[in-house]
Structure 1
Amino acid sequence: MHNSLNVLITGATSGIGEALVNHYANENYRVTACGRNQEKLSQLQNITQLGLAFDVNNEKDIGLAAAQVDYIDILILNAGDCRYITNPMAFDSNLFEDIINTNLVSLGKLIKHFLPKVKKGGQVVFISSSATIVPFPQAEAYGASKAGMDYLANSLRLDLVDHQIDVTLVHPGFVRTPLTAVNHFNMPFIIDADDAAARIFNGIKARKAYLHFPKRLTLTLKFMSLLPRKVWQHIILKDTNSRETIK
């Protein structure tokens, strides 16, 4: 039984976040679900101890939400967005800024207010993306934000050693979520959100520093990253066809 352990999950009202809420609740953890969708948070209230409605870009609301939390054993930073730069010659700087703010800058606000709530011996989990293993077309905004998250997680891990708080960085491949539902390209080895949640849960429980899946995809990408640039660039541009990208 883990009913004395508190897990807080951002981006909890859809996709991987919602699947994580259900998985942790089924494992008898005390779940705090965070998201913008108040209606969905209300639907989850029968399996959560607390629902906190806020936008990750609004620090005032984050602070008010954090004030309602006594302590956290596992902090899962999962909230994020994905949109593409479809024309590099008409670079959408507003879209770029929005994605960087939502996926990366917001983490500073969340860490500021929620990390002090994490108990000694606790964990902080960053849900990043396997898109950071090699560059992909049209992913200038999304990939840059997730690459920044990777560095943040790996750096924070070093600074939290003295505080006895572990950091787990997660690189999922393609997962069936509302974000990937709009993709009109082949998504190899795609898995369901429930499958992703189970893998993440097990990785966190094992206190892994780094977790990537499905390995048929992530190991392929890691191998490609070792090839000469011209080789993997040719493979990616050929396989992505219309210059779409991974998420």
Structure 2
Amino acid sequence: MILITGATSGIGRQLVEDYTKSGADVVACGRNLEKLAGVKDDCKAHQGKVLTLAFDVTDRAQTTRVLSDFLREQEITVAILNAGVCEYIDDPLHFDAALVERVFAANFFGVVYCLQALLARMPVSSKIAIVDSMARQFPFVRAEAYGASKAAIHYFARSLQADIGQNGVQVITISPGFVKTPLTDKNDFEMPMRVSVEHASLAIRRGIAKGKSHIAFPRLFGGILSLLERLPRGIQNYLATRMKQS
């Protein structure tokens, strides 16, 4: 059975639809009961079935309780921890620390809380895929909170890979570029090489099936960011500033 957080929108919802179409049973997780019911209804004609779990990943007690109770009765072989948010800092000289806390609560601690409940209860040869972002690779303007949260969870996942690699549970990192979702539809800037949720879902499902340790898409955008990441820091800062001015 496959567990997916952030399943009511964007990449998460597309993953639920595509996995159930292929015959897999999926546990769709989200905060909104009405939206979860909509996901389940949309997939009722598919080969695989959808179970739903309602909890807020930013609530540690609720997350660990709901997941722990579920795992006493059901076995999860793949968990895709996809839930996340994005908020930008528009005035860096007078930013609100509460904004940073909100972003980290979902993008970092939300994953950590899920891992606390999942890791000890997942069988040998199971997989946990953690979604970060290519934004962690470059100092994009206004993205202090978002980029930092994604960099933090990427490092956490990489360290976890090394720590538990011999225990039979594979940890996979997923780094998307821009994906057309309700979250990115709110952006007021150009998003080069933005891909569809269908593209994202296919890349993730293929990567997990092949047992990759890292999944990144689109490849060209990832390659460009990897090159930028190798530039001297002064040049990176100059380019980031030019992006702000354009």
For normalisation by structure 1, the TM-score amounts to 0.92
Q: Report matched runs for 1:28-47 at 5 Å.
A: 28-45=23-40, 46=44
Higher percent of residues as strand: 1
> 1:240 Cα shift?
4.5
Residue in structure 2 matched with residue 64 of structure 1 by the alignment:
65
Find the counterpart in structure 2 of residue 105 from structure 1: 109
Pairs within 5 Å for 1:132-151: 132-151=136-155
Distance 2:151 2:173 in 1: 11
Q: Give structure 1 regions of 4+ aligned residues with deviation exceeding 4 angstroms.
A: none
Paired AA for residue 99 in structure 1 = V
CA–CA distance in structure 1, aligned partners of residues 121 and 36 of structure 2: 21
CA distance in structure 2 between the aligned counterparts of 1:27 and 1:168, rounded to whole angstroms: 21
In 1, Cα distance between equivalents of 2:91 and 2:211: 41
Partner of 1:14: 9
The aligned runs of 1:215-230 (5 Å cut-off) are 215-230=219-234
Equivalent position SS for 2:2: strand
d(CA) in 2 for partners of 1:212 and 1:23? 19
Q: Mean alpha-carbon deviation: is it higher for 42-51 or for 149-158?
A: 42-51
User: Which residue identity does 1:95 align to in structure 2?
Assistant: L
Correspondences of 1:1-247 after superposition (within 5 Å):
6-45=1-40, 46=44, 48-66=49-67, 67-69=69-71, 70-241=74-245
Q: Do the aligned partners of residues 240 and 18 (structure 1) sit closer, same or farther apart at CA in structure 2, a change above 3 Å counting? A: farther
Higher fraction of helix:
2
Q: Which runs of 5+ in 2 are unaligned?
A: none
Residues matched between the structures, number: 237
Q: Which runs of 5+ in 1 are unaligned?
A: 1-5, 243-247
Output the amino acid matched with 1:68: F
CA contact (8 A) 2:139 2:236 kept: no
> Are the structure 2 counterparts of residues 240 and 193 from structure 1 closer, same or farther at C-alpha, using a change threshold of 3 Å?
farther
The one-letter amino acid of 2:65's match is: L
Aligned-residue sequence identity (percent) comes to: 37
Whether the 8 Å contact between 1:75 and 1:118 is mirrored in structure 2 is no
